[in-house]
Amino acid sequence: MILRCRVLARFGSEIDALQPDGSVLRTHLRRRVDDVVCGDVVMVDAAGAVVRSREPRRNHLTRRDGFNRLRTIAANIDRAWIVVAPRPEVPHLLIDRFLVGIRNLPAEAGIVVNKSDLAFTADTPTSGPDLSHYLQLSLPVLRVSAHTGLGLEALRAAAAGACNILVGPSGVGKSSLIQALLPAERLRIAAVGQRGEGRHTTTTARWYEAEDGAAWIDSPGVRDFSPEIAGIDQLVQGFPDVSEHAANCRFRNCTHRSEPGCAVSAAVDRGLLPVARLQAWRELRESLVAGGQSRG
């Protein structure tokens, strides 16, 4: 019998396939159909526990591994949430880099500030990190806590009916959030007292289905992310704020460094654009030029 299955996770040459009846079947991949990741839809020969074919993907998220090889993390993503925590500090550059990658999948992007229970302390008496600039980019910014449940209903509502992936650094609580949203599941979470980056508790992306029709993909934490983009047109997708000001630069090919009549630098000077956004733009623009991918 041939069954249409969702790929929950991949382990080497095997996958966990979610069958139409809701049961999970550990299934083998053959070399002919090897390009299969979490979120894919595959046709499975249930008797032989073998994947016969994969359906075309809407999109897929990739990243470079430690050997600079391109790895596909997950496929068929509607919405990607960049998860951060107020401490040790919010990784602004990582957010900006993810934003470019997500917008070009294409998929919708949002920011989730988890561990908001830690935001109100003596050393940070405000409501946490200032991410107001991202709101101006029409990006939802949700403050939540997997531990206290704060903001989880808003996150659930924003995720309804879509396939959502959680991305971000290790230790920010991506798995904890999915665990809090789906109490019947059993996710691996870093032990209390082992907080912080670099522990990499989650080692492979995994798909979870909610009763409200949403899907959640938990992904391994990353230290860095480089969007795979082909040129400047794709770069501006992640920087509508920079490109809005750039339209008024004197030179069309302005690099927004020290050119006369640069409207982007002027916007930074006038407090209309955070300098960190301009720095992130420059850095990614340079990597495009270095990679020979610039188209002007």
Ligand X SMILES: Nc1nc2c(ncn2[C@@H]2O[C@H](COP(=O)(O)OP(=O)(O)OP(=O)(O)O)[C@@H](O)[C@H]2O)c(=O)[nH]1
By CB under 6 A, name the one of 63, 92, 115, 245 that touches ligand X.
Answer: 115
Min dist CB 229 to ligand X, Å, is: 24
State in Å, rounded, how far the first CA of the chain is from the last one. 53
Residue 100 sits in the site that holds Zn ion (CB under 5 A): no
Residue 87 sits in the site that holds ligand X (CB under 6 A): no
Sheet holding 163-167, edge to edge: 141-143, 108-113, 79-84, 163-167, 215-218, 206-209
Residues 6+ apart with CB under 8 A from 204: 9, 10, 11, 38, 220
Residues 256 and 264 sit within 8 Å (Cβ to Cβ): yes
201/255 with CB nearer ligand X: 201
Q: Which residues pair with 206 in a beta bridge?
A: 218
27/175 with CB nearer ligand X: 175
By CB under 6 A, name the one of 75, 105, 172, 236 that touches ligand X.
Answer: 172
Residue 234 sits in the site that holds ligand X (CB under 6 A): no
Residue 112 sits in the site that holds ligand X (CB under 6 A): no
Residues 6+ apart with CB under 8 A from 203: 220
Residue 276 sits in the site that holds Zn ion (CB under 5 A): no
Residues 215 and 181 sit within 8 Å (Cβ to Cβ): no
By CB under 5 A, name the one of 6, 206, 256, 277 that touches Zn ion.
Answer: 256
Residue 262: name the closest of 274, 254, 270 by CA.
254
178/262 with CB nearer Zn ion: 262
Only one of the segments 66-74, 134-142, 167-175, 258-266 lies at the binding site for ligand X (rule: CB under 6 A); that segment is 167-175
By CB under 5 A, name the one of 24, 154, 189, 254 that touches Zn ion.
Answer: 254
Residue 164 sits in the site that holds ligand X (CB under 6 A): no
By CB under 5 A, name the one of 155, 165, 264, 278 that touches Zn ion.
Answer: 264
44/112 with CB nearer Mg ion: 112
Residue 292: name the closest of 238, 233, 231 by CA.
231
Residue 147 sits in the site that holds ligand X (CB under 6 A): yes
Min dist CB 161 to ligand X, Å, is: 24
Q: Which residues pair with 163 in a beta bridge?
A: 215
SS3 200: coil
Q: What is the DSSP letter of 30?
A: P
Give the span between the Cα atoms of 41 and 44, in whole angstroms.
Answer: 10
By CB under 6 A, name the one of 59, 62, 170, 204 that touches ligand X.
Answer: 170
Residue 206 sits in the site that holds Zn ion (CB under 5 A): no
Task: Please list the alpha-helical segments (H only) found in 152-274.
Answer: 152-159, 174-181, 232-237, 240-246, 263-269
Point out the residue whose Cβ comes nearest to ligand X: 221
Residue 54 sits in the site that holds ligand X (CB under 6 A): no
Which stretches of the chain bind ligand X, using CB under 6 A? 114-115, 117-118, 145-147, 170-176, 189-190, 192, 194-195, 199-202, 220-221
Which stretches of the chain bind Zn ion, using CB under 5 A? 249, 254, 256, 262, 264
